[in-house]
Amino acid sequence: MPTAPCVTLAVPAFVVPADDIDPYRLSRPTLAAADSPASSGKDYLFDALYNAATAGGADAVLSGVLGEMTITRTETMFTPQAWVKDRLRTIRAAFAERRGREPWPDHGFFVRLSGDALHHLPAEIRRHRRTWPPITLRHPGERLEYSPLHDIIKRFTTATPSAGLRRLSPFRDPRLQALAAGMPAHFVCHGGLRRAIARAMMKDHVPDQIRLRKDKGAFSPPHLERLRRHAGGALDRLDAYRKSDAADWIDLDWLEEGLGKIHRGDFETIPDHTKIQVTAVAADILQQWNSGLPR
């Protein structure tokens, strides 16, 4: 790929993961370190990154996550059109919730829970089953202030499932967070480009073809094909899931239907393939915990 940043910047690139890595299952080290089901479809990529880093003798990896709290923040500026669009979105989600349907994609859970699990949710958990709040519409002159995720990142650690390997997130630096919080809201969008703060900081440091590009690109170009290729294996494991505690929590019939569509490559009819993937990962974790046996 001649336009890849690693080629333009002349830095080494490693292609990971290998084709045999299953996006519907966590590796043994990650599974052993997990204290809750996964909530991201990218966990298998981090698995591969950690393995490659360890094999290469590294003691840390740099992660660009949480940049949306600081220099890559995006905000929606207030306009009458934006206000009407947000209110209509909120109303649609509220009606969908009342009718008992999931307001895609604004559902409160990362996985598709079974009807029985939803019905018997404890009150303290049920309170969290709500749609997203209205989007905060910013006026250009007001300060950005700290991100709503500011307190959440205090839970993040540098630990990884690989012994002796740390995961460092430069965007978590408190000084950078404070700097971004004091900037005017209109700084995040300038000249028709979003994430303008990061673009300005990178001026003269990276080529403009990277700095000013508008297309983000897939986080992993072969991701959908990898989901399709491994969907058959995930379908084969459904019988084991049905015999474990996973059946009490996960809507396995919905999962089977979704995996079937992915297996056929029928992505256009799937509202959210990531939710199908993460639900399959959660079912696998629950089944592994239930059996007490390592993979």
Using CA atoms, how far residue 144 sits from 11, 64, 70, 190, 230, in Å, is 34, 20, 10, 15, 43
- Predicted confidence at residue 106, as pLDDT, reads 40
- Note whether residue 34 is domain-resident: no
Which range marks the domain in which residue 120 is found? 76-135
Strand partners, 250: 113
- Note whether residue 86 is domain-resident: yes
Which of 120, 135, 150 is the C-terminal boundary of a domain?
135
- Predicted confidence at residue 9, as pLDDT, reads 66
**pLDDT over threshold 70, residue 122:** yes
Q: How many residues does the chain have?
A: 295
d(CA 275, CA 267): 13
Per 3-state DSSP, the chain is made up of helix, strand and coil in percentages (nearest 5) of 45, 5, 45
- Note whether residue 91 is domain-resident: yes
Find, among 85, 81, 48, 49, the residue nearest to 64 by Cα.
49
Q: What is the pLDDT of residues 28-52, one digit of tens each?
A: 777 777 666 666 788 888 888 888 8
- Note whether residue 17 is domain-resident: no
Which of 135, 164, 186 is the C-terminal boundary of a domain?
135
Amino acid type, 46: F
Q: What is the pLDDT of residues 153-192, one digit of tens each?
A: 666 778 888 888 998 888 888 888 888 888 888 888 887 7
- Note whether residue 254 is domain-resident: yes
Phi, psi of 13 (to 5 degrees): -125, 140
Which of 92, 110, 135 is the C-terminal boundary of a domain?
135
Confidence of residue 2 (pLDDT cuts 50, 70, 90): very low
Q: What is the pLDDT of residues 217-255, one digit of tens each?
A: 667 778 888 999 999 999 999 999 999 989 998 999 999
Number of domains in the chain: 2
- Predicted confidence at residue 105, as pLDDT, reads 34
d(CA 75, CA 185): 7
Q: Which residue has the tokens 């979704």?
A: 258
Q: What is the pTM of this model?
A: 0.73
Contact 260, 267 (CB under 8 A): no
More confident residue, 197 or 219: 197
Confidence of residue 14 (pLDDT cuts 50, 70, 90): low
- Note whether residue 141 is domain-resident: no
- Note whether residue 32 is domain-resident: no
State the average pLDDT over residues 193-213.
Answer: 86
Strand partners, 138: 77
Report the greatest alpha carbon distance in the chain.
Answer: 58
d(CA 201, CA 191): 15
- Note whether residue 176 is domain-resident: no
What does the angle CA 117 – CA 119 – CA 124 come to, to the nearest 5 degrees?
85
- Mean pLDDT in the chain? 79
